Amino acid sequence: MKALIPAAGLGTRFLPATKAVPKEMLLVVDRPAIQYVVEEGLASAADEVVIINSHEKKAIEDHFSPNPELVETLRTRGKDAYADAVEKVGNYNVSYVYQEEALGLGHAVYCAHEKTGNEPFYVLLGDVLVPNNKMLPRMQEVSDAHGGASVIAVMPVPDEEVSRFGVIAGVAVSEDVWKIDALVEKPALEDAPSNLAVFGRYLLSPRVMELLADVKPGVGGEIQLTDALDAVLQEEEMYALVIDPADGFDTGTIESWLDTNNKLYAQRQA
């Protein structure tokens, strides 16, 4: 089973900082943001993390490649803790596929179809961090309890934010699980079927990957993952896990990135 991390975006909101440094490589307390996401994937049931990269963002691959010379230098200087950290991150089981054109999240995910084969897969969006690594195992439990159905994490958001997200329609089947009837990408508030927004963690059936091959551009002219999820509901059940907002940390804007740095730093000092 693979965990896919789409990372081919331009990082527009962080320009000019992201002109030479990929957004995913921006520091969050003590490591690049994407390292949290890779670590979360590797701590889950996935055996490999697949980063969907662009050819312009080589720094991501350098970060997850071995660097024996640096490790050796650090050891010679007695800096073993740093040497261990460098060695560890260079040995993570990470591979790459490439999205040649930024045609949308659904298109990015489809770029990894040869990797996922006929298995369920996770999609982890890099804009949100889940440092406690507990969300994916819980999503797996919900999937197992419902015959292997797809499960997506959702979070309650205030009215003024619903139009920034994918939003679900459905019914609660337990305290924190909903059965999904429909999904809409970035609806206007008056069209939003609920306040439960797609958060950025997905456990998806292989049928979603097949359907992505035929999804037409939707909102913003982009091939939307949400549209493939809505389409798969004609054939399969899907569930939403309502997460505690305190478990997820947004880094998608400068403001939220700063806030996340502050919160995670404070947690570490506590």
Interaction site with ligand G1P (CB under 6 A): 105, 125, 127, 165-166, 185, 197-200, 224-226
The minimum distance between CB 208 and ligand G1P, in angstroms, equals 13
The minimum distance between CB 141 and ligand G1P, in angstroms, equals 22
The residue among 71 and 215 lying less far from ligand G1P, judged by its C-beta, is 215
The residue among 135 and 225 lying less far from ligand G1P, judged by its C-beta, is 225
The residue among 142 and 225 lying less far from ligand G1P, judged by its C-beta, is 225
Which residue number places its CB atom closest to ligand G1P? 166
The residue among 89 and 196 lying less far from ligand G1P, judged by its C-beta, is 196
CA 102/CA 223 separation, integer angstroms: 10
Tokens matching residue 153: 């994490």
CA 165/CA 171 separation, integer angstroms: 19
The minimum distance between CB 185 and ligand G1P, in angstroms, equals 5
How many Cβ atoms are within 10 Å of 16's Cβ, its own excluded?
7
| Among the listed residues 42, 36, 34, the one whose alpha carbon sits nearest the alpha carbon of residue 3 | 42
The minimum distance between CB 28 and ligand G1P, in angstroms, equals 16
